[in-house]
A and B are shown apart, each in its own frame.
Chain A
């Protein structure tokens, strides 16, 4: 009883002692808001649970020359032309890497509407890559993803029906070769969401089940995924921004001349990511560590792997709409070195 009385009196007491002398604390550590268990936020879709980790740890690395040109005819409609000349790696059983020099031209058309999104890319040899996303109602979305080739029996397609509820999301998938899958993810607290998925492959008569958990705050995201295919995947992403910016500003005042050229560091957002994957069937363990610097003029991503792979990817904005891309991947174990450069014109 006494403790209750003290608790209700606290906010009305005038500030005494040290509290009156010091300035009031900034709102960094606001009073923890009361959790409204009936109004939890909607979780991220199940396949994007590790989205932040993938953005840092799996950049688009390529080998050779890449040139992309996107021409917008309209707010919603644009055409794209893309040229690639370089090597692509063929999957091989042995530890040697087999690279095949390839060159191709790809034509694409995009139509982006709030309710309907159509993206199509066709290569010169007739392979079509199609993506459709359609909002059937406010909460129900249909997504179609297809790769069609001229050779028979090599085409793939997948239909996804997504339903978004108040604090849950559910998805049902139908794919070719009689693939059926479903997943469900639910927010159980303002920061924690849990999900699970099942799938069934008709042709090989295989089925699987998996569970995932994601804990995120403003500054960090931690995820864990385990599947009956024998895979365990953990990841952790930390966002570092304000403090590093203040440190750099301090250093600049201290040594103004040298750091003046680093003006672009003022708008700085850094993410550090780490990832751990264990495959029980092949007894394969991989862990990687990566960083993602988003600056005003460029974006630099890099990663370091336990397989002896070091990779980096730089996208530099030269001018309005012109981006210069550099990509490098060095695999010390397999002695495989890949370097690529390219230019992206248009949005």
Chain B
């Protein structure tokens, strides 16, 4: 009896351990996915972000000044 109880206890612990491991794995996969998306967004969006912030700062520059060399 005692051995049966202990065997069941071990099975439950093993199941819990597997749950925790898969939860950690899930977190790691999601965080890797999030980092990849963040990297792509930064890569394409950083310079446009600076330009948008700059064009909205005071005194507001005109749009043609972005392209003309004067």
CB pair A111–B43 under 8 Å, yes or no, is no
**What are the residues of chain A within 8 A of B66 when measuring CB–CB?**
73, 79
Interface assignment of A71: CB less than 8 Å from any CB of chain B = yes
Interface assignment of B27: CB less than 8 Å from any CB of chain A = no
CB-CB contacts below 8 Å: A118-135 with B: 118-120, 122, 126, 128, 130
Partner among A69, A107, A118 whose Cβ is within 8 Å of the Cβ of B53: A118
Closest A residue to B50 by CB, please name it.
A109
Partner among B42, B47, B54 whose Cβ is within 8 Å of the Cβ of A74: B54
Interface assignment of A76: CB less than 8 Å from any CB of chain B = yes
CB pair B65–A111 under 8 Å, yes or no, is no
CB pair B39–A120 under 8 Å, yes or no, is no
Interface assignment of A39: CB less than 8 Å from any CB of chain B = no
| Known A74-B54, A76-B54; contact A120-B69, beta-carbon cutoff 8 A | no
Distance, CA A73 to CA B56, complexed state (A):
11
**What are the residues of chain A within 8 A of B50 when measuring CB–CB?**
109-111, 118-120
Given contacts A113-B57, A118-B53, 15 further A-B contacts (CB under 8 A): A71-B69, A73-B54, A73-B61, A76-B54, A77-B54, A109-B47, A118-B49, A120-B46, A120-B50, A128-B43, A128-B46, A128-B47, A130-B42, A146-B42, A148-B43
Interface residues of A (CB under 8 A from B): 69, 71, 73-74, 76-77, 79, 107, 109-111, 113, 118-120, 122, 126, 128, 130, 146, 148, 150, 155
